[in-house]
Chain A
Amino acid sequence: MPARPSLKRVPRATFLGRAIAGNLGALIVGVKYFIDPNRITLLYPHEYIKLRQGYRGYIVLIFDKCISCASCARICPARAMKMVTMEVKDKKLNRAMKKKYPVINYNRCIFCGYCVDVCPTEALYHVPYHDLVYLNMQDMILNVEEFQKEPEFVTAKEGVPVTYVFDEKRGLVKVSVEESSNQGSSSQPAGGGGSS
C-alpha cells in the first residue's frame, strides 16, 4: 500500500468557538498540568541516568584480545584513534617483539562506535556512561595503559541511579533503578535489552 495524499483543513474558528472552546480548552489543559505535572528533569549530579548496556559511551581496550590489525584506527572518522608501537612479550614465541596497539584521544572522539563495531576480535567495548570530566586536555589523550582501564564513573559514587520508563499516559516517567527492575525485568535480558 503506497502513501496517498489527503487534503486536510485547518479547523475553522467561529466567534463563539474562539471565546469559549478556544480559551476554555487551553485553560483546562493548563490547569490539568498545573495540578498534575509530569516532571522529567534530572537533578544531576544528585541523580544520574543508568544507561543500558548498548549505549555508546567511553571505550575500553581489552589488551589481550587485540591482534594489532589497525582496523579501528583506519575506520575512525574523527582520527581520534591512533596506533602506537609497543614492545611486548609474545607469549607463543616467547620473545620480545614490537606490536601496534590503539590509543584514543577523547578531544576528538565523536562516539560513533565504528571502532568498536569494526574490531574483528571484540577487543574494544563501550562502557554505558558518558559524563566524565578531565582537568585538562592533555589528560584526554590516553596511552595504552590508561585505555585498558574503565574510566572512573564519579557520578555513580555520589548520585542516585534513575532510569526513564515509557508510559502511555505520561510519556517518560523517571523512576529509581530499583523500582524499574521490579516492574519489568522479566522481559529484559542482561545486556542490550534491559535498562537495569
Chain B
Amino acid sequence: MSAQDSSSGVPHLPGMEVRPVERNVYEVQIGPAHPGSGHMRIIVELDGDVMVRVDPDIGFVHRTMEKLAEGRDWIKNIPLFERMAILDACNITLPYVEAVEKLLDIEPPERAKYLRTLLCEINRIASHLYGMGIFGVFLGHSTLYMWAFGDREVFVQLAEDLTGARLTHSYPVFGGVRRDMPDDFPENARKAVRYMRNRLNEYAKIFLNNPNIRKRLEGVGVISKTRAAELGIAGPNARASGIKYDVRLVEPYEAYPELDFEIPVFEEGDSLARAWMRVEEIRQSLNIIEQAVDWLEKHPREGFMHDKFWKAAPKLYKDVYEGNIPYAGKYRVKLMPLFATLKVPAGKAAARVEAGRGEMFYYVESDGKDVPYRVRVVSPSFRNVIAFKYVMPGHRLMDLPTIYGSFDYFPPEWDR
C-alpha cells in the first residue's frame, strides 16, 4: 500500500489514522515507555485537562506466540506461552496443558490437580500484589509499591520452593506436574497465609481507606454492569462491576470443585471497587492455599503423574523422586523421554481457566504430528484494554493512571 496524503497534508501511513483536531483540543501521546503506560501508547485528546477521546494503541511486545507454537514440539510450548505473563505463569500455561490433555484423553491424578491448584493460587496472589504495587506507583503512593512488591516476595518464595524457579515455573506438564512440595512447605505456606491475612488489613488502612487515595479512586472510571458485559471485560474487573462470572464458578477445573471458597463480587464498578476486588480475591486465595496444603499433607505422596507416563518409569526415576540420589534434589518428577517426541492424536480441544486478570482461553488443534496444527489464545488483558476507550473520556488527565492502574492491564499478555 502506498502512503496517501490526508487532507491536512500529513502522510497517511497504513494502520495510522490522521485526523484534523478541533480547536482547543490537544493530542497528547502517553507512552510508549512512559511510567504511566507500560509498553503501550495511549493517544489522548485533551480539552483543557479533560480527556475527550482516548485511543489505546496496544503496540508490540513480543508478537507471534500463536504462530511460533505451530513450529515447536508440544511440550516446548509450555515455556513459550509462559512468557506472556511470567508473573502468572501457572495460570497462563494451565489451559494449554489441559487442552492437550483432552486431546491425549488423559486426566491428571488427584494429587497433581491439587498441586496445580496450589501453584495457581500462589500465582494469583503474586499477580494481584504486582498489580497493586504498580497501581501504587501510578498514584504516587510509593509505600504501597514497596509493600506489595515486598509481600509478593513471600509468595514468589513459596513458588520457588515448590517448583525450583521464581517466575518461569513451567510447572504443569501433560498428565501431571513436575515436582511435589518439599517437606517444609506446608508449614511455610501456613505462615505466609497467616501473615498475609493480617497484612491485608494494613493495606486497607494505609491505602484503600486512606482518604487521599479514596478521593482519587471513588467514582472514577465507573463501568456499569451492562457496559462491562457489552465490552466483554473479563476477570476481577468484570466482577467489580457486578458480573458474577468466574471460570472457577461456571466451569470448575482441577481441584476447585472440592474446595470451599467465595467469589467476591462488587457492584460499584469504580476504581476503588476494583482495588478492593483484588484484596478480597487475595483473601479467598489464601483460604484455598490453606485447604490445598491441608489436603496435600493428609494424603500420601503418590500420583503426581498420569499412569500412562509413570507406569513404565525405571527404578531410577523413583529414586530421584525419593531423594536417594544426593545431587538430584528431592520430589522431582522425571519426564519420560517420550515427552520430547510426543505425538498428539488429531482433534480439536479448548480449555479455559481463571487467571489473575481474568479468563484465559486456549483453542488447540492437532493433526497428529509432533507439533500443534493451530493454537489460539485469548488472554484477559486483550479483552480489558478496550475499556480504556470508553471509560476514560470525561475524566481529567490525572485520572488516566488511576483507571489504567485499577484495570491491572498487563501489555505483554495481550500480545500473543
Contacts and interface: CB of A to CB of B under 8 A. Distances in A.
Interface string B181-212: 01110011001101110010010011101110
B296 to A, nearest CB: 15
Classify chain B's interface size: 35 or more
B341 A74 contact: yes
B210 A55 contact: no
Contact of B184 (A23, A78, A164, A184): A184
Interface string A54-71: 111000000000000101
A8 B256 CA distance: 21
Given A5-B262, A111-B165, A192 B211 contact: no
B165 A189 contact: no
A182 B334 CA distance: 32
A17 to B, nearest CB: 8
Contacts of B244: 5
Interface residues of A, number: 66
Interface stretch (A90-98, A100-108, A121-129): A121-129
Interface in B343-398: none
Q: Label chain A's interface by main secondary structure.
A: loop
B182 A164 contact: no
A22 B170 contact: no
A29 interface: yes
Contact of A113 (B154, B170, B207, B259): B170
Contact of A189 (B75, B183, B207, B259): B183
Contacts of B327: 125, 191
Contacts of A5: 244, 246, 249, 262-265
A8 B191 CA distance: 26
B166 to A, nearest CB: 9
Contacts of A171: 150-151, 153-154, 192, 195-196, 199
A112 B337 contact: no
Contacts of B248: 3
Contacts of B331: 54, 192
Contact of A52 (B161, B328, B341): B161
Given A125-B327, A184-B184, A192-B182, A29 B202 contact: yes
Contact of B334 (A7, A23, A117, A190): A117
B266 interface: yes
A118 B341 CA distance: 11
Nearest to A117: B335
B191 A74 contact: no
Nearest to A60: B327
B9 interface: no
Contacts of B316: 120-122
B58 interface: no
Given A77-B77, A112-B165, A193-B330, 5 more contacts: A2-B252, A30-B143, A122-B328, A187-B187, A192-B330
20 contacts: A6-B264, A21-B209, A22-B210, A22-B214, A25-B209, A29-B205, A71-B340, A75-B73, A110-B168, A112-B165, A114-B79, A117-B178, A117-B334, A121-B316, A125-B329, A171-B195, A187-B187, A192-B182, A192-B329, A193-B323
Nearest 8 Cβ contacts at the A-B interface: A192-B330, A77-B76, A75-B340, A54-B329, A74-B340, A25-B205, A71-B337, A1-B260
Interface of A: 1-11, 13, 18-19, 21-23, 25-26, 28-30, 38, 40, 52-56, 69, 71, 74-78, 110-114, 117-122, 125-126, 164, 166-172, 184, 187-194
Interface of B: 72-73, 75-80, 143, 150-151, 153-154, 157, 160-161, 164-165, 168, 170, 178-179, 182-184, 187-188, 191-192, 194-196, 199, 202, 205-207, 209-211, 214, 244, 246, 248-249, 252, 256-268, 272-273, 276, 280, 314, 316, 320, 323, 325-337, 339-341
